[in-house]
């Protein structure tokens, strides 16, 4: 299972870098107005129609794969957290006592102990 998680992480990073590159390659919507005044669109690699549909579809595909790998990594992380809890590694849990504020003076008065700042505990 470890090799599968490593493979998903590698694919995730490669897809992330490819998405950044594809987004930077694409032209904005305002670039179409410049092509109407002799922008030389017929000399592009992707043809006279431009690279819009090809790059848009490729970006969409890579985005879907990126979300799938993100979801897969979240499942792997959840499984690791469950295994850590079963192995005896301490897990932080919220309790109802932690949410209620406790007055230190009242709790010591109930237990019969008194504390003052002048008294120091004895070391044995």
SS3 content of the chain, % helix, strand, coil (to 5): 65, 0, 35
Residue 10, pLDDT score: 96
* Highest-confidence segment of 29-43, 55-69, 85-99: 55-69
Confidence (pLDDT) at 109: 53
Report whether 108 contacts 115 (CB < 8 A).
yes
Question: In the prediction, which pLDDT does 89 show?
Answer: 67
Q: What is the mean pLDDT of residues 64-91?
A: 84
Band of residue 33 on the pLDDT scale cut at 50, 70, 90: low
**pLDDT average, residue stretch 99-114:** 54
């Amino acid at each position: 299972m470890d090799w599968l998680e490593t493979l998903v992480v590698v694919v995730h990073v490669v897809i992330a870098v490819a998405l950044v590159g594809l987004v930077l390659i694409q032209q904005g919507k305002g670039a179409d107005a410049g092509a109407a005044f002799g922008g030389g669109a017929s000399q592009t690699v992707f043809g006279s129609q431009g690279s819009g549909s090809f790059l848009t579809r490729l970006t969409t595909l890579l985005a879907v794969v990126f979300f799938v790998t993100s979801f897969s990594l979240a499942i792997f992380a959840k499984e690791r957290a469950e295994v850590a809890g079963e192995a005896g590694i301490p897990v932080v849990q919220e309790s109802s006592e932690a949410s209620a504020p406790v007055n230190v003076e009242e709790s010591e008065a109930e237990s019969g102990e008194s504390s003052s700042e002048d008294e120091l505990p004895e070391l044995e």
